[in-house]
Structure 1
Amino acid sequence: MKKKVPAYNGTLRDHTIMCPYCISECSGIRIFGKRIKSIAFSTDVAIIKNINADAIIAVYPFTPQAAISQSIISISDVPVFVGVGGGLTGGKRSVRLALQAEHQGAYGVVVNAPIADEVITEIKRVVDIPVIATIASVHTDVRRKLEAGADILNVSGAAATASMVAEIRKEYPDVAIIATGGPTNESILETIEAGANAITYTPPSNGELFARTMKKYREINP
């Protein structure tokens, strides 16, 4: 029997960004007692403060900086998974960033696809939060990432994501998988059906949101 869920949005928060409802179809991943299904991919603190995602994944194309992760963790009302490198940044620096992220309150650390397996092992040795390994290609050796100590896989294969998730799920039926869901309900559901436990969602940018708001203002005051 489908349950009716009472809701209250208020006036000032009625414009909160909502993750696609279909994400609720996935099982979720329970981390430190919190069940996480939807994960917003953003480092914009205004968006992070105004989105209904269960968690935030803060990965960006620059050298990870503790000041950035601290800012995001302090503003977020939900768990944050922090990027600690693996591409341009690696080795002992990634290990130190991971330990610092844990001290700042991160719920997990995310390592990029090129990271060396021994660095994953070293990060896992020093932190007591999940190590999330990004899988960006069908050629990635998933077994080695798991054996190195990765707790969760973050599958980000663009259009190939759903098929990559399905292949991983066949070989590893119990591994926790986060995956990018794509831009439509259909692509999200396809990824969930392939075996993803949680879905990352990329919200619209500040520029896109401002454009929509200004369009409404112009309609009200032509």
Structure 2
Amino acid sequence: MIKEFKVKTPLYSKCIEVPSVIQNATGIHILSRFIKSIIFTTDVVVIKNNNADAIMAVYPFTPQPILSHALATVANMPLMVGIGGGTTQGDRVVELALDAEFQGVLSVVLNAPIDNNTLLAVRKAIEIPIIVSVVSTDKIEERLRNGADILNVCAGRDTIKVIKYIRDRYPDVPIIATGGGSDKLIEATIDAGANAIVYTPPTTTQLMKDLMATYRT
């Protein structure tokens, strides 16, 4: 067996590491990238200091091009950026999708409430993959028929049930899913059929709190 080497320096040795169990996922080839682990954040400090394969940047405000531009500038790994689908609908979503593609993001993410007409319009407008978030087993066929390339399952306690439903009926559809807060839950999510896992990291506030506790000892 070839030995694995790790090269670090004192100032750059700290980073947020995604759970190693995620490496058990099969992964998804998205354009020229192979993705297993996705970190869910819009924090530029976290974006710059983690070992995930990709960033998913979705936030609870109306998407704006300036925010996508800022995230794309900071990210040194593939970026999946939210372009609406909840409060933001219609032509604005299409324009945001085009702008995101021009910024060089890997894919765009549409929230679960997106209407199928807007989804189809985005599909006709851009060439990069479209990720559609799903929170239940409803409308799966409609999402796929109208342009979803990847399904992002974020159904809370029903996540594993929804993954199994999709995997049983659509064996060739790539699935991203939120893995939960423990290795056991992540493993169960992978076993259910998720190809890549979204990991939510601790906040910088929590990390700073832990660091200050260390400084005070």
Q: Which residue of 1 aligns with 2:99?
A: 100
Identity of aligned residues (%): 45
Q: What is the DSSP-based 3-state SS (H/G/I as helix, E as strand, rest coil) of the residue aligned with 1:47?
A: helix
Q: Which residue of 1 aligns with 2:215?
A: 217
Q: What is the DSSP-based 3-state SS (H/G/I as helix, E as strand, rest coil) of the residue aligned with 1:12?
A: helix
Q: Which residue of 2 aligns with 1:65?
A: 64
Cα displacement (A) at 1:3: 5.5
The residue type paired with residue 140 of structure 2 is: V
Paired with 1:4 and 1:37, the residues of 2 have a C-alpha distance of 22
1:52 aligns with 2:51: yes
Paired with 2:6 and 2:25, the residues of 1 have a C-alpha distance of 21
What are the Cα deviations for residues 77-119 of structure 1, in whole angstroms up to 9, with x where unaligned? 1010110101100111001100000001111010000111111
Paired with 1:23 and 1:101, the residues of 2 have a C-alpha distance of 27
Q: Which residue of 2 aligns with 1:203?
A: 201
Cα displacement (A) at 1:14: 1.8
Q: What is the DSSP-based 3-state SS (H/G/I as helix, E as strand, rest coil) of the residue aligned with 2:119?
A: helix
- Count how many residue pairs are aligned between Structure 1 and Structure 2: 217
Q: CA 1:4–1:166 in structure 2 vs 1: closer, same or farther (change >3 Å)?
A: farther
User: Structure 2: which 5+ runs fail to align?
Assistant: none
Cα displacement (A) at 1:33: 1.9
Q: Which residue of 2 aligns with 1:43?
A: 42
What are the Cα deviations for residues 5-61 of structure 1, in whole angstroms up to 9, with x where unaligned? 211222112221100000000011111221011001000001100011100011000
The residue type paired with residue 209 of structure 2 is: A
1:170 aligns with 2:168: yes
The residue type paired with residue 182 of structure 1 is: G
Paired with 1:38 and 1:122, the residues of 2 have a C-alpha distance of 29
Cα displacement (A) at 1:163: 1.6
Paired with 2:191 and 2:2, the residues of 1 have a C-alpha distance of 23
The residue type paired with residue 90 of structure 2 is: G
TM-score if structure 1 supplies the norm length?
0.95
Q: What is the DSSP-based 3-state SS (H/G/I as helix, E as strand, rest coil) of the residue aligned with 2:81?
A: strand
User: Structure 1: which 5+ runs fail to align?
Assistant: none
Q: What is the DSSP-based 3-state SS (H/G/I as helix, E as strand, rest coil) of the residue aligned with 1:188?
A: helix
Paired with 2:2 and 2:180, the residues of 1 have a C-alpha distance of 28
Cα displacement (A) at 1:66: 0.6
Q: Which residue of 1 aligns with 2:113?
A: 114
TM-score if structure 2 supplies the norm length?
0.98
Paired with 2:31 and 2:171, the residues of 1 have a C-alpha distance of 22
The structure 1 segments of at least 4 consecutive aligned residues displaced by more than 4 Å after TM superposition are none
